Amino acid sequence: MTALKPILKFMLAAFMTSAGVMHFFKTDFYLKMMPPYVPWHLEMVYLSGVFEIVLGLLLLIPRTTRLAAWGLIALLVAVFPANVHIYLNQDLIPAKPMLHLMRLPLQAVLIVWAFWFTRPERPAEPAVSSPG
């Protein structure tokens, strides 16, 4: 599993960074997701996009991995109401109801995935040599 962890870290970083970039190219899509009680919709879409990009990149730097993972968890929790809003108002983004529903547990998967990188790395155990 240890060999898989760097690959999965890169995949999460790429996913989050790509999602963040999309906030600037598909802004209208993200604006539709904004619950009415959240102020400054456009600014929040851009701000969440910046955080996704920055935290995704920071995840790749060993010194900042744990902090970035905690930041991603906080961000994923913060944007969860937008996913609930879309599920409850499916006419805002036309898609099959199951797709809207699947976004909700996907957030939990992403949170658990990020949480894995909050754990400190264990130092490699020294090789045991056999007596001579």
For the chain, which residues make up each domain, given as ranges? 4-116
CB burial of 44-57 (b: ≥16 within 10 Å; e: otherwise) equals bbbebbebbbbbbe
Q: Residue 112 — very low, low, confident or very high, per pLDDT cuts 50/70/90?
A: very high
Amino acid at 112: V
pLDDT digits (tens, 9 = 90+) for 73-103: 999 999 999 999 999 998 898 888 888 889 8
Q: What is the Cα–Cα distance from 14 to 6, expressed in whole angstroms?
A: 12
Return the pLDDT at 97.
85
Q: Tokens 């990149």 belong to which residue? A: 57
Span 13-67, pLDDT tens digits: 999 999 999 999 999 999 999 999 999 999 999 999 999 999 999 999 999 999 9
CA–CA separation, 11 vs 3, rounded Å?
A: 14
Q: Please provide residue 45's backbone torsions phi and psi, each rounded to the nearest 5 degrees.
A: -65, -45
pLDDT at 131 over 80: no
DSSP 93-120: S-S-HHHHHHHHHHHHHHHHHHHHTTSP
Quick one: pLDDT band at residue 105, thresholds 50, 70, 90? very high
86-91: long-range contacts (C-beta < 8 A, 24 or more apart)?
86/32, 86/33
pLDDT average, residue stretch 100-129: 83
Give the per-residue pLDDT at 95: 85
> What ranges in 2-127 are assigned the alpha helix state H?
4-25, 27-33, 41-59, 65-88, 97-116
pLDDT value for 3: 82
